[in-house]
């Protein structure tokens, strides 16, 4: 039996390696580099823990594990101790004396694994310790967990990860294994470049999480929609509700509490004791719903999270995938639910536009947002789309909203053309710019003060969209924004000085106006819901 397999069995008590674990372990034990992409719950930890033990037994010293999360280090070291493995961590939670103690253990060769925060690792003092170990051939490997943090294209960029490029130069010959549960092609390439993993063998697992059902609904009254979702489908079950802002976290937590749901708020604005307490309760007690910003979740290993709900749309698919991936780690059926609306598109676009980034960078952020928008607007299998984004081809899953209740699709091409020409006409006539509501009024031929004030009832397209409901037109607008056939344009009001977003035509608008692209839209959610109720769903 190989040393790796006997370690797996004797130390961890597992019968066999899972999926690509064996190949990864072999690669690292043999001294090669590896880049591991494996979904949450796939078993990344063993990929470096087993090699660490095997190499240590072969007299090759200690493994250094870089991890951004104190809670995670704590849990892992605890679990290793239980398994009889000598491990420790170094991070800001230790007192000076405790840290000294760990350093001493490290120097005297007593450790098999040492977990360290990236900012700690690259201090001159710590690098000095590593230099000594390296000189004695006592550095067995580096494991870089949550490796996507090194990339600004990832969804959780941490500048301190950048300094890890030093490992390659300074400790040549020491194998490095980088691991992440989420990275699209761009992020992957960036990880390779930043960490100098050109020679690394890449192990890319399927990103599919078959037990997670994906549902994306159109936002109406999102708090009530969420409430119904929880009460009807996940009463008394543990879940996480993600919100964009701290204020929203508190509002939603309160509404859920008032409805008798065991909800707790969590965001970075709470004192750390409160956060810790809420997190502990979430982990220990049954059926707690954590209402949180994305500050919550990374490294939280709770197997029986039955649902993850997004009441606001995340920034990109990687974020969405990572957050929804916290559901159903035990492999039992779980649900990823998201409500999405025009306001999400506008808000996310605004955040990108107003961010301090360079134009080139903003363009990448926008294209990532667009990919998520088109997932939200999709009328075909969500999982196929999601996996496609990570470079995988698959067939319709039968376990997402679109597969289970295929949405009725209507051809929105005519409505889209009417909408675009109205925007064009209105802006042609008035030098001012107008928001979505007004455009819709003109299109639907409504008699409002504003319409009269600007003589927009004289526009040739006035009322040509009468046949469409406002919901339908909003759908058209969202879809056009999602596909870039409609743009948002920032305008400062001369009167109030307020900055607001208005609609503008883009180069993509022309193709729609010419009738060269079809606009397929899902039937409104309200209609779809009444259908599924009839079916008794
Ligand atoms: P990840 O870090 O990829 O999210 P973990 O390393 O935390 O995943 O592993 C997820 C779970 O799967 C853990 O409970 C772990 O003990 C278990 N596991 C991993 N590999 C195996 C294996 N080969 N056999 C049985 N259980 C495993
Ligand atoms: Zn599907």
Q: Which atom of ligand 1 is nearest to the CA of 39?
A: 3
- Strands (E) located in 304-430: 307-310, 334-340, 409-411
pLDDT of residue 240: 98
pLDDT at 166: 92
Buried b (16+ CB within 10 A) or exposed e, 143-176: bbbbbbbbbbbbbbebebbbebeebbeebeebbb
Count of positions (residues) in the chain: 537
Pocket test for ligand 1, best of 25, 36, 37, 45 (most atoms within 8 A of CB): 45
> pTM (2 decimals)?
0.77
User: Residue 320: CB partners within 8 Å, gap ≥ 6?
Assistant: 310, 313, 314, 338, 372, 375
| Residue whose CA is at the smallest distance from ligand 1 atom 25 | 14
Residue that has been written with the tokens 């890449």 in this structure = 202
Judge if the beta carbon of residue 25 lies within 6 A of ligand 1.
no
CA 99 to chain centre: 34
Q: Ligand 1, residues 12, 24, 43: which to mutate, most atoms within 8 A of Cβ?
A: 43
Kindly state if the Cβ of 346 falls inside 6 Å of ligand 1.
Answer: no
What pLDDT does 482 receive?
76
Q: Whose CA is nearest to atom 26 of ligand 1?
A: 14
- Does ligand 1 have an atom closer than 6 angstroms to the CB of 46? yes
Q: How far is the CA of 402 from the centre of ligand 2 (A)?
A: 6
Ligand 2 centroid to Cα of residue 218, in Å, is 17
Nearest to 176 by CA among 153, 206, 149, 199: 199
Question: Which ligand is in closest contact with the Cα of 399?
Answer: 2
> Given the CA of residue 303, which atom of ligand 1 is nearest to it?
14
pLDDT at 527: 41
What is the atom index within ligand 1 of the atom nearest the CA of 17?
Answer: 23
Does residue 48 line the site of ligand 1, with CB under 6 A?
no
Residue 112 CB–ligand 1 contact under 6 Å: no
- What is d(CA 120, CA 138) in angstroms, rounded to the nearest whole number? 19
Please work out whether the CB of residue 27 comes within 6 Å of at least one atom of ligand 1: no
CA gap 114, 109 in Å, rounded:
11
Alpha carbon 322 to chain centroid distance? 4
What is the C-alpha separation between 43 and 98, in angstroms, rounded?
30
Nearest ligand to residue 9 Cα = 1
Task: Verify whether ligand 1 is closer than 6 Å to residue 17 (CB atom).
Answer: yes
| C-beta 182 within 6 A of ligand 1 | no
- Mean pLDDT of residues grouped by 10 in the chain (537 residues)? 95 94 97 94 93 97 93 90 96 92 96 96 94 97 95 83 92 96 87 95 92 95 97 97 96 97 96 94 96 86 94 93 92 96 86 83 85 89 93 93 91 92 86 81 93 91 91 85 78 69 84 86 52 33
Do 267 and 292 touch, CB atoms closer than 8 A? yes
> Residue 525's pLDDT is what?
42
What does the pLDDT look like over 202-257, one tens digit per residue? 999 888 999 999 999 989 899 999 999 999 999 999 999 999 999 999 999 999 99
Ligand lying nearest the CA atom of residue 20: 1
Q: Is 40 in the pocket of ligand 1 (CB under 6 A)?
A: yes
Q: Output the pLDDT for position 499.
A: 65
* Atom in ligand 1 nearest the alpha carbon of residue 8: 23
């Amino acid at each position: 039996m190989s040393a790796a397999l006997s370690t797996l069995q004797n130390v961890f008590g597992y019968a066999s390696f899972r999926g690509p674990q064996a190949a990864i372990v072999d690669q690292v034990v043999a001294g090669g580099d590896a880049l591991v992409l494996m979904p949450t719950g796939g078993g990344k930890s063993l990929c470096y823990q087993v090699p660490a033990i095997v190499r240590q037994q072969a007299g090759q010293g200690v493994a250094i594990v870089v991890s951004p999360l104190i809670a995670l280090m704590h849990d892992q070291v605890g679990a290793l101790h239980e398994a009889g493995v000598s491990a420790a961590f170094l991070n800001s939670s230790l007192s000076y004396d405790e840290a000294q103690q760990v350093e001493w253990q490290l120097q005297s060769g007593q450790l098999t694994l040492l977990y360290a925060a990236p900012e700690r690792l690259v201090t001159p003092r710590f690098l000095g310790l590593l230099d000594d170990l390296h000189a004695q051939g006592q550095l067995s490997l580096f494991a870089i967990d949550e490796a996507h943090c090194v990339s600004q294209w990832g969804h959780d960029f941490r500048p301190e990860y950048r300094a890890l490029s030093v490992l390659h130069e300074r400790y040549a010959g020491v194998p490095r294994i980088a691991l992440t549960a989420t990275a699209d092609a761009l992020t992957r390439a960036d990880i390779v470049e930043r960490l100098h993993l050109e020679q690394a063998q890449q192990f890319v697992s399927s990103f599919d999480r078959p037990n997670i059902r994906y549902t994306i609904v159109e936002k109406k009254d999102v708090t009530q929609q969420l409430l119904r979702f929880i009460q009807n489908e996940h009463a008394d079950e543990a879940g996480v509700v993600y919100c964009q802002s701290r204020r929203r976290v508190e509002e939603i937590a309160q509404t859920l509490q008032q409805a008798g749901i065991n909800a707790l708020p969590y965001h970075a604005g709470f004192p750390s004791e409160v956060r810790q307490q809420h997190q502990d309760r979430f982990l220990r007690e049954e059926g707690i719903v954590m209402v949180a910003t994305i500050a919550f979740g990374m490294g939280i290993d709770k197997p029986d999270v039955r649902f993850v709900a997004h009441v606001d749309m995340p920034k990109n698919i990687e974020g969405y995938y990572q957050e929804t991936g916290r559901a159903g780690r035990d492999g039992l059926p779980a649900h990823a639910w998201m409500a999405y609306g025009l306001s999400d598109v506008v808000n996310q676009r605004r955040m990108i536009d107003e961010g301090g980034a360079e134009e080139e960078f903003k363009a990448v952020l926008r294209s990532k947002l667009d990919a998520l928008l088109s997932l939200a607007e999709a009328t075909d299998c969500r999982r196929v789309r999601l996996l496609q984004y990570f470079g995988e081809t698959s067939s319709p899953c039968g376990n997402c909203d679109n597969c289970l209740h295929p949405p009725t699709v209507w051809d929105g091409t005519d409505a889209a053309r009417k909408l675009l020409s109205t925007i064009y006409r209105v802006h042609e006539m008035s030098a001012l710019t107008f928001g979505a509501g007004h455009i819709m009024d003109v299109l639907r031929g409504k008699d409002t003060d504003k319409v009269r004030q600007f003589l927009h009832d004289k526009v040739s397209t006035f009322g040509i969209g009468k046949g469409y409901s406002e919901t339908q037109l909003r759908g058209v607008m969202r879809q056009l924004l999602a596909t870039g056939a409609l743009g948002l344009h920032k305008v400062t009001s001369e009167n109030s000085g307020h900055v607001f977003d208005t609609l503008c035509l883009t180069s993509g608008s022309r193709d729609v106006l010419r009738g060269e692209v079809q606009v397929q839209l899902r039937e409104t959610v309200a209609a779809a819901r009444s259908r599924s109720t009839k079916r008794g769903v």
